[in-house]
Chain A
C-alpha cells in the first residue's frame, strides 16, 4: 500500500517547527515499522503489545513535556499533541497507554509531587522502565468522581488505604498507581501506590469490545499500608485529578484527529479504487459528500486544536476550552469512522481495514475522561454560569 500522507488541507504543517515535523516523522516511521503490522492481531486477541513500550519511550511518547532534569525531553504542548495524533492514527488503545503514562501519572507527580518523588519516578516512567496507571473512577462513581468511597487514614507513620477503582487503563501491568482517595476530612488527595504493596491487587477486566489492545483493570485496596512520603502534597481536592484530566483530554483532542485521518485516508483511497456501476464509487455525489464533509470536519478540528495548543503553551487554556475540543473532536472522529466504514461497504467490517477498530475504540474515548454529555454540561455551565449536573 502507498504511504499514508498527512491530510493537511489548510497547510497547518507550515505552523509547525522543523523539529516538530522531525519528531512526527520519526514516530510515524517507527509506528509503521513496528506497530501497524501487529496491532490488528493484538486487538483481536485483546492483548497489550508490551514489546512496544521501549519504542514508545524512545520516540518521546511518555511525558514529552516533562523537563529534561526529570528525564523528559521538555517539549511543548503542540509537540505532545502531534505525538498523540500519530499514536491514535494507529490505535486509540496505544494512544491511551501513552496518555495515561504522560498526563495521568507523570503529570501529577511532576506538578504535585515532592522533589524526591519526581526524581524517584519520573526518569523511569519516561523510559518505560516503570509503567503507571491512574485510579479515579469507582464502581459507583464515574461521571461524579467527587462522591468516591476510597479512603485513607493517618496511622501515625503511614497511611492505610481502602477502597476500589474500576476501568483503570494500564492497571494490570502498572508498577505504580496514582490513586485518588479521601482523607478523614473528606478531602481528595493523590497517593502513589506501588505494585507489591500488601493488600493491593489489580485484576484485569476482560470482555471489552473497545480498546482491546489496551489493558484495563480494577484496583483493589484492602488495608494497604502506604508510606507517608507517597502522598502528593502539592494539591488536594477534586481539582487535583481534574487538572490531570485537562492534560489528558487535550491529548485526546489531538489523538481523535489521528483516528479520523486514518479512516478518511482509507475511505478516500478505497472510493477511488472500488468500481461499481462501471465507475469508481468516488465519482458518485453521495460518496463525495461524505468525503468532502470528512475533510472539512478534520480541518476544523485541526485548527481548533492547534489554537488550543497555543493557549496551553501560554498557560491560558481553560478547562472548558479543553473540554470543548475533546468533545468536538471525538464526536467528529466517531462520525467519520462510521461514514468511512460505510464507504468501504462489506470490506469496512473486516479487519483488513481499520475503520471499525477505530470506531469501536472511540466508543471508549467518547466515554472516558468525561462522557460526551458531561462535556456538553461543562460548556453549558461555562456559558450560562449555571451547573446542570444535578
Chain B
C-alpha cells in the first residue's frame, strides 16, 4: 500500500481568534498551531494501521510555508515515513487541490487520504477537488476504511443510519471521526522523526478563483443563568418575564 495523507495546520481550538488588515486576514500572532485533528487522528492513524497490516509506506503532503514544519514533524513522529511540503500559502481550495494533485499524479498512490474538513475553515473541498483533478473516485466522510486486494470498503454515517460503499483503488477518501483512535507520538517516534525526510517542493502555477472579503466573530453568547433545582418558582418567573416563552 502506498498512501498519501494530506496534513494541514490549524489553530489550537483554545486559541483566541482575531483578524487583521481590516478583517480580511486571520491574525496568526501568538497562535499555537496543531495538526488538523481530522487529518491526524483519523486519516493519518488509519493510514499507519493499514501500512502496519498490509505493508507499504505512508507519505504526508502539506501545502504551506515553513511555519507548517512543526505540524509536519509531528505527523512524522506519529509514524509517517516521509513528508512533502509544497512551499506555498494555501490560498484557496482549488489552488491547494491543484498542488496536491500535481504532486500525486503518476506517483502510484493506492490511497490519497484527507480529513473530512479542517477545523478552522470547514471547507470540505480540497479532497473532492483533488479527486476530480486526478480523475479518481472519491468517498467523503468515511468513519471506517478497510482494504482488501484492489478495493476498499468504507462506511459513512448518514442521516439516521450508515452507508457501506466499495470503491476500486486507487481512490481518494476523506476521514471523519471513528476511523481510528488518536495516537500520541512517543519519544521513540519523536526521535526517529528527526531523521525522516521532509522534502520541500516548489508549487506549480495554479489559478485562484476565490477571495475572502471579510471575517467576523460570532455574537457573544448570552449568559447562562443557573437556577437552584429547589426553586421552580424562580424558573417559571424567569421563563415568563425574561424569556417571555410562557
Q: Which residues of A, 18-44, contact B by the 8 Å Cβ criterion?
A: 18-19, 21-23, 26, 29-30, 33
Listed A/B pairs (10) with beta-carbon separation below 8 Å = A18-B69, A18-B70, A22-B73, A22-B74, A22-B185, A23-B187, A26-B77, A59-B184, A60-B186, A60-B190
What is the distance, in angstroms, from A265's C-beta to the closest C-beta of chain B? 12
Contact: A5 with B186, CB < 8 Å?
A: no
What is the distance, in angstroms, from B95's C-beta to the closest C-beta of chain A? 26
Contact A59/B186 with A22-B77, A73-B191 known, Cβ cut-off 8 Å: yes
- In the complex, what distance in Å separates the CA atom of A30 from the CA atom of B13? 18
Contact: B184 with A5, CB < 8 Å?
A: no
Which residues of chain A have C-beta atoms less than 8 A from B73's C-beta? 18-19, 22
- In the complex, what distance in Å separates the CA atom of A284 from the CA atom of B41? 43
- In the complex, what distance in Å separates the CA atom of A19 from the CA atom of B70? 8
Interface contacts beyond A26-B187, A29-B184, A59-B187: sample of 17 additional A-B pairs, CB < 8 Å, sorted by A? A2-B14, A3-B13, A3-B14, A18-B70, A19-B194, A21-B70, A22-B77, A26-B77, A26-B184, A26-B185, A26-B186, A33-B184, A59-B184, A59-B186, A60-B187, A73-B190, A73-B191
Contact: A22 with B70, CB < 8 Å?
A: yes
Which B residue's beta carbon lies closest to that of A13?
B32
What is the distance, in angstroms, from B154's C-beta to the closest C-beta of chain A? 28
- In the complex, what distance in Å separates the CA atom of A23 from the CA atom of B194? 12
What is the distance, in angstroms, from B11's C-beta to the closest C-beta of chain A? 13
- In the complex, what distance in Å separates the CA atom of A30 from the CA atom of B184? 7
> Is the C-beta of B241 less than 8 angstroms from some C-beta in chain A?
no
> Is the C-beta of A58 less than 8 angstroms from some C-beta in chain B?
yes
Which residues of chain B have C-beta atoms less than 8 A from A19's C-beta? 73, 190, 194
* 0/1 interface trace, chain B 180-193, chain A, CB 8 Å (1 if under): 00001111101100
Which B residue's beta carbon lies closest to that of A17?
B70
Which B residue's beta carbon lies closest to that of A57?
B187
- In the complex, what distance in Å separates the CA atom of A19 from the CA atom of B74? 9
- In the complex, what distance in Å separates the CA atom of A296 from the CA atom of B77? 35
- In the complex, what distance in Å separates the CA atom of A26 from the CA atom of B78? 10
What is the distance, in angstroms, from B188's C-beta to the closest C-beta of chain A? 7
Contact A26/B69 with A3-B14, A33-B184 known, Cβ cut-off 8 Å: no
Q: How large is the interface on B (under 10, 10 to 19, 20 to 34, 35 or more residues)?
A: 10 to 19
Contact: A58 with B190, CB < 8 Å?
A: no
* 0/1 interface trace, chain B 155-192, chain A, CB 8 Å (1 if under): 00000000000000000000000000000111110110
Give A residues with C-beta under 8 Å from B. 2-3, 5, 18-19, 21-23, 26, 29-30, 33, 58-60, 64, 68, 73
Q: Which residues of B, 54-95, contact A by the 8 Å Cβ criterion?
A: 69-70, 73-74, 77
Q: Is the interface of B mostly helix, strand, loop or mixed?
A: helix
- In the complex, what distance in Å separates the CA atom of A5 from the CA atom of B69? 22
- In the complex, what distance in Å separates the CA atom of A129 from the CA atom of B73? 29
Which A residue's beta carbon lies closest to that of B13?
A3
- In the complex, what distance in Å separates the CA atom of A369 from the CA atom of B210? 62
Which residues of chain A have C-beta atoms less than 8 A from B69's C-beta? 18
Which residues of chain A have C-beta atoms less than 8 A from B186's C-beta? 26, 58-60
Which A residue's beta carbon lies closest to that of B187?
A60
What is the distance, in angstroms, from A261's C-beta to the closest C-beta of chain B? 15
Which residue in B14, B77, B187 is a CB contact (below 8 Å) of A5? B14
Which residues of chain B have C-beta atoms less than 8 A from A3's C-beta? 13-14
Q: Please list the 4 inter-chain residue pairs (A to B) with the smallest Cβ-Cβ separation, ordered nearest first.
A: A60-B187, A58-B186, A18-B70, A29-B184
Contact A26/B14 with A18-B73, A19-B73, A33-B184 known, Cβ cut-off 8 Å: no
Contact: B187 with A73, CB < 8 Å?
A: yes
- In the complex, what distance in Å separates the CA atom of A64 from the CA atom of B187? 9
Which residues of chain B have C-beta atoms less than 8 A from A30's C-beta? 184
Which residues of chain A have C-beta atoms less than 8 A from B70's C-beta? 18, 21-22
- In the complex, what distance in Å separates the CA atom of A178 from the CA atom of B194? 34
Which residues of chain A have C-beta atoms less than 8 A from B74's C-beta? 22
Which residues of chain B have C-beta atoms less than 8 A from A68's C-beta? 191
- In the complex, what distance in Å separates the CA atom of A18 from the CA atom of B190? 11
- In the complex, what distance in Å separates the CA atom of A69 from the CA atom of B121? 45
What is the distance, in angstroms, from B183's C-beta to the closest C-beta of chain A? 10
- In the complex, what distance in Å separates the CA atom of A49 from the CA atom of B194? 32
- In the complex, what distance in Å separates the CA atom of A22 from the CA atom of B78? 11
- In the complex, what distance in Å separates the CA atom of A68 from the CA atom of B190? 13
Which residues of chain A have C-beta atoms less than 8 A from B194's C-beta? 19
Q: Which residues of B, 191-209, contact A by the 8 Å Cβ criterion?
A: 191, 194
Which residues of chain A have C-beta atoms less than 8 A from B190's C-beta? 19, 22-23, 26, 60, 73
What is the distance, in angstroms, from A58's C-beta to the closest C-beta of chain B? 4
Contact: B187 with A58, CB < 8 Å?
A: yes
- In the complex, what distance in Å separates the CA atom of A239 from the CA atom of B113? 58
- In the complex, what distance in Å separates the CA atom of A306 from the CA atom of B120? 33
- In the complex, what distance in Å separates the CA atom of A68 from the CA atom of B69? 25
- In the complex, what distance in Å separates the CA atom of A33 from the CA atom of B182? 11
What is the distance, in angstroms, from B48's C-beta to the closest C-beta of chain A? 16
- In the complex, what distance in Å separates the CA atom of A60 from the CA atom of B70? 19
- In the complex, what distance in Å separates the CA atom of A18 from the CA atom of B77? 12
What is the distance, in angstroms, from B86's C-beta to the closest C-beta of chain A? 20
- In the complex, what distance in Å separates the CA atom of A243 from the CA atom of B224? 56
What is the distance, in angstroms, from A90's C-beta to the closest C-beta of chain B? 15
Which B residue's beta carbon lies closest to that of A3?
B14
What is the distance, in angstroms, from A18's C-beta to the closest C-beta of chain B? 5
- In the complex, what distance in Å separates the CA atom of A23 from the CA atom of B73? 11
- In the complex, what distance in Å separates the CA atom of A58 from the CA atom of B185? 9
- In the complex, what distance in Å separates the CA atom of A22 from the CA atom of B190? 8
Which A residue's beta carbon lies closest to that of B194?
A19
Which residues of chain B have C-beta atoms less than 8 A from A2's C-beta? 14
- In the complex, what distance in Å separates the CA atom of A58 from the CA atom of B77? 13
Which residues of chain B have C-beta atoms less than 8 A from A5's C-beta? 14
- In the complex, what distance in Å separates the CA atom of A23 from the CA atom of B77? 10
* 0/1 interface trace, chain B 20-42, chain A, CB 8 Å (1 if under): 00000000000000000000000
